[in-house]
Each structure stands twice: as C-alpha cells, then as structure tokens.
Amino acid sequence: MRFPVKTISLAVASALIVFGCGKEAPPPPPPKAEQPAAPPPKPTLTVKIGHSAPLTGPQAHLGKDNENGARLAIEEANAKKMEIGGAVVTFEMIAEDDQADPKQGTTVAQKLIDAKVSGVVGHLNSGTTIPASKLYADAGIPQISPSATNPKYTQQGFKTAYRVMANDEQQGKVLGDYATKQLSGKKIAEVRITYVGELANLDASPVTMAVLKGLLTPMVGENVNYVNASLIAAERGLRVVEAKATQAEEFTNLLSLEVRSNGASAVFAGTLSARREPRIVQIDQTFIEASPEGHMLVIKNEDKPGLIGALGTLLAEAKINIAGMSNGRDRPGGTAITVVNVDSPVPAEVLERVRRLKNVLDVTHVKL
C-alpha cells in the first residue's frame, strides 16, 4: 500500500512536533552574582620628623648612634601601618649635621622648619639644643632632646621643649647630698667643683647652686634653695671653688666634686654615658658606673664574697625590689663601693640591717 508523500510528510512533521513538545528546553543559566565594589584605597599621610646631631667631628660617633636609634624607631613605626584620622601614615626622617656648633645648630633648625617637619629629635648637646629651641618654639614644633642636660633648656618655659633624661642640677644635687652624708658630723670647709669638656663652655652657675643645695640641705634643712644657697654657704664659711678644663681625658664631659673638711675629704665625679645618660663614675678612689636616679643605696664594703647575695635576700624579705646594681673596688681584696638602685624608699630599720651585714663598712640612702 502506498501512502501519498503528502501524508508521510504530514506524519513526520507531526511526530517531530510531538517529540519537540515532549522534551523540556534547558533552563537559562542563573544570573552571575554581582561582585562588591572594591573599597577605595585609604588616604595616605607623610609625617616628616627632623633629627639633628653632630655627624662629623669628634662627637660624630655619638651623633650617629642617636641618628640610628631614631631611624630604627621610624622603621618600626612604619611597619605597624599606623593611622591618623583614617589615613595611613608614613614617617620620613630628615637628618641634619649640626657639628656640635651652636651657630650651625640654629642654621640646621631653620632648615628643618623650612622642610615642614612635624617634630624634631635633637639636638645632642646642650650648647646646640638651647639656641635651636627658641626657633622651634616660635614655629610651634615639638623638640625632644635625647641628651641635653643643661637645666636652662627646659627652664626657658617653651611648651615645645622636652627632655628624656636627668639634668645637671639633679646630678649635682646627688653628688652634694651624698658628700654631706659621707662627711656626717664634720664641718665642710671647702668644696671644689670641676667642669670638664663641654660643661666647661656652659654657664655653670645652676649646677654649682645645685651642688651647694645638696650639700647644705642635710645640714640646715629644706630652707635652702637655688637662690640663697651661695649666701648660706658664705655665712657658714664654706669656700666654693670652680674650675674648668676644656680638654677631657677619659670622658667627653665630667663633673667632679671634691669636698674637704678638717682632716677628711671625699671625691665624687659624674658624666654622661655613651648613650648620653647620667652616670656616677667615681666615689673617692673607686671607679664605678652607677645611675643617679630614684632611691639609691651606696654601700662601702670590704671586697669579700657574700655581700651581694646577703643584700639581695635582705631586700627581698623587706619587699624592696632591686632595679639595678653596680660596683667597683680600689684593688682586689681591698675596699669596694656597691651602688644599688631600688624601686621604693628604704625604711630606717632596713637600712640599719644592711649596715649590720658582714663586711659592710657604711651605707648611705640617697633619694633623687
């Protein structure tokens, strides 16, 4: 039986329609999720920090040490990605060489001001720090001196001037106070104050007054001040001698104090360490390196074993923490000096117990 072509074609078309209708069309692909827009980058801020110190000349090694310290601090701060007001801060150091010269110091200060620094670390010496401080104050730029010890620096009243270490007055007061206590009961006839090195080029009167205040306060009470100290010394017949030596042998700066009484004398000397920190370096004939700060026990003892252990135990029992200790001796087996920095006052009964320790010859409590 033959089917017309038309019929076959219609049947095939119908079959295709049925097949097509019976198979679902694939669903359209889901719409792609919109990616959140990247946040805009945070604004950046560059803060310039000035640094000034002698980078050439005899004190260049000290200046480079200070510069390296400041540079390291800036690198550490930058690594923390600090922010100010939502802006990422980058600290940039601008270093200048003041050559330890006051005139160059003011020239450098003006250069840093013109460079729009936000603060200054420096200068190293009092002689350059003080004249530069007026320029920084007028410009409203904070100045932090790591090592200027002349009291005048912060006595000028500038709100922009900061120091991070003790000044010469404090050191002089400690030497004077200790000298009086060492010569307790003896009338002091003469005090000789010698300024060596850079100190010889500065106005020494504030330090001399501090020494006299330290000497006289234990004898006449708290009525002694920096204004009347020289007058009280004269009334008591105390001869005051000042000497200066610009050439330093072992130390760049040295403050030496010799106190004489009838039949006795005591010698003390202080300086600045390589890190520009105050140090007592000589007590009588014994060389030492002690920090003049806080509460101090100054012990004269026989150079024999056992003292340090016994002293540590005694102070621990009294709940007095030792912050630092240094000692020196005139010769092996001779007389030694032990200086102990403690965190709290030492009561009189504890001081007496220290005095009774084996091999202890004397002990003095000094408070800075």
Whichever domain contains 332, its CATH number is 3.30.70.260
pLDDT, residue 26, reads 65
CATH no. for residue 90? Answer: 3.40.50.2300
What are the pLDDT digits (tens) for 266-303? 888 888 665 566 788 888 888 988 887 889 899 999 99
Whether 87 is covered by a domain: the verdict is: yes
Please list, in sequence order, all residues whose beta carbon lies within 8 angstroms of the beta carbon of residue 95, skipping any fewer than 6 positions away.
50, 51, 52, 55, 67, 70, 71
Comparing 90 with 294, the larger pLDDT belongs to: 90
Whether 298 is covered by a domain: the verdict is: yes
Element (H, E) at 67: helix 60-79
203 with 108, same domain: the answer is no
Note down the domain range covering 266: 166-284
Number of CB atoms found within 10 A of residue 93's CB: 16
Domain boundary among 163, 182, 216: 163
Q: How many domains does the chain have?
A: 3
CATH no. for residue 264? Answer: 3.30.1330.90
What's the pLDDT band for 244 if we cut at 50, 70, 90? confident
325 with 219, same domain: the answer is no
125 has pLDDT over 80: yes
Two structure tokens written together for 179:
């000298």
Whether 348 is covered by a domain: the verdict is: yes
109 with 89, same domain: the answer is yes
> How does DSSP classify residue 84?
E
Residue with tokens 């805009």: 40
339 with 353, same domain: the answer is yes
Please list, in sequence order, all residues whose beta carbon lies within 8 angstroms of the beta carbon of residue 70, skipping any fewer than 6 positions away.
49, 51, 93, 95, 121
205 with 181, same domain: the answer is yes
Domain boundary among 259, 284, 309: 284
Comparing 200 with 327, the larger pLDDT belongs to: 327
pLDDT (average), residues 303-332: 93
Whether 34 is covered by a domain: the verdict is: no
Residue 228, phi then psi, degrees to nearest 5: -100, 0
Q: Using only C-alpha atoms, what is the Rg of the chain?
A: 37
pLDDT (average), residues 96-118: 95
